[in-house]
Amino acid sequence: MDKRKLGTQGLEVSAIGLGCMGLTAVYGPGPSEAEAIEVLAKAVDLGVTFFDTAEIYGRLTNEVIVGKGLKPFRGKVAIATKFGFDLADAMAAGRPRGVNSRPENIRAVADASLQRLGIDVIDLFYQHRVDPSVPIEDVAGTVGELVKAGKVRYFGMSEAGADTVRRAHAVFPVSALQSEYSLWTRDPEGEVLPTLRELGVGFVPYSPLGRGFLTGAVNASTLGDGDFRRFMPRFQGDALAKNLGLVETLTQLARQKGHTPAQLALAWLLHQGPDIVPIPGTTKVSRLQENVGAAAIRLSADDLAAIEAAVPETAVEGQRYDQTGLAMVNL
């Protein structure tokens, strides 16, 4: 698989990474540890070198599985993890809610993540959500200290607004911003992406398949009681019914071109710029192979226009998060 650079500090990864959140129960029951490790190994075999986890995923268990699965390949892969949620609050509430980017917490999370992952250095350390109570300059400075100490290689941010990224970057270079971006979530195109390109910061779209929706495999009957998507307005009631029509249009277009809707959605993202590295997640080897196949698809200007017409942003019904989630993004 082709490689892409994230930032100008030296981080180079596969054009498509693997989001590992779903390897522990988030969208309903997760796979067994053995199945998760099989997916990780197959990803490496297919050329994936970029893996994304976080302390909060699986309530501290996700990093452990990722560390076990990638241990045989440590010299070949880059592992990203994250700090910034109030872990005690999340454990009590059952979902991320409060934030904590105090310097002492950043340092503590780094040490704990290193231990859970079983590695000597975190390749990319993201602030998971901006903490309004802690100046971003203090956050950037603390991560910079971790880099100098050899515990972290590169600094990243997630769901931060353009001005916040600029302020952080002035203190310590930001290599990548991770935010939701896909055919049905186009928010970063306004201010964020132009700012990243001005500063030389890479962009990592999470949920590049609309939390599985753009695969065509999600409907009301597939969302179990433990599925995190039930909190999201786009997956509820009339909004879900309307959005299913958009996916059907995308599916028909993909069929005409000999691809799956997921492949077409990922290929569209890759064509938005060479500084973009999407991280679709999956628990199935067959889906992993399908996603990786998108890296080889070449789209013309007419193809891109047809894809955007199939899923126009203005036609998407419902917000991507509930009010609790929206309050934490683009700060």
SS3 228: helix
Are residues 302 and 223 in contact, defined by beta-carbon separation less than 8 angstroms? no
Residue whose structure tokens are 């990548």:
176
SS3 95: coil
Of the candidates 218, 252, 247, the one whose C-alpha atom is nearest the C-alpha of residue 235 is 218
Phi, psi of 101 (to 5 degrees): -115, 30
State the catalytic residue, choosing from 27, 57, 154, 206: 57
Are residues 203 and 273 in contact, defined by beta-carbon separation less than 8 angstroms? yes
The tokens for 271 are 């064509």
Residue-level length of the chain: 331
Read off the DSSP letter of residue 51: E
d(CA 78, CA 263): 23
Of the candidates 109, 97, 95, 30, the one whose C-alpha atom is nearest the C-alpha of residue 62 is 30
- Number of Cβ within a 10 Å radius of residue 91: 12
d(CA 34, CA 23): 11
Phi-psi region of 227 (alpha: psi -120 to 50; beta: other; left: phi over 0): beta
The tokens for 152 are 């972290």
206 given a catalytic annotation: no
- Residue 3: strand pairing partners: 14
> Which positions ≥6 away from 55 have C-beta within 8 Å?
63, 81, 82, 83, 85, 87, 109, 112, 113, 116
d(CA 100, CA 130): 9
d(CA 270, CA 299): 10
Q: Which residues are catalytic?
A: 57
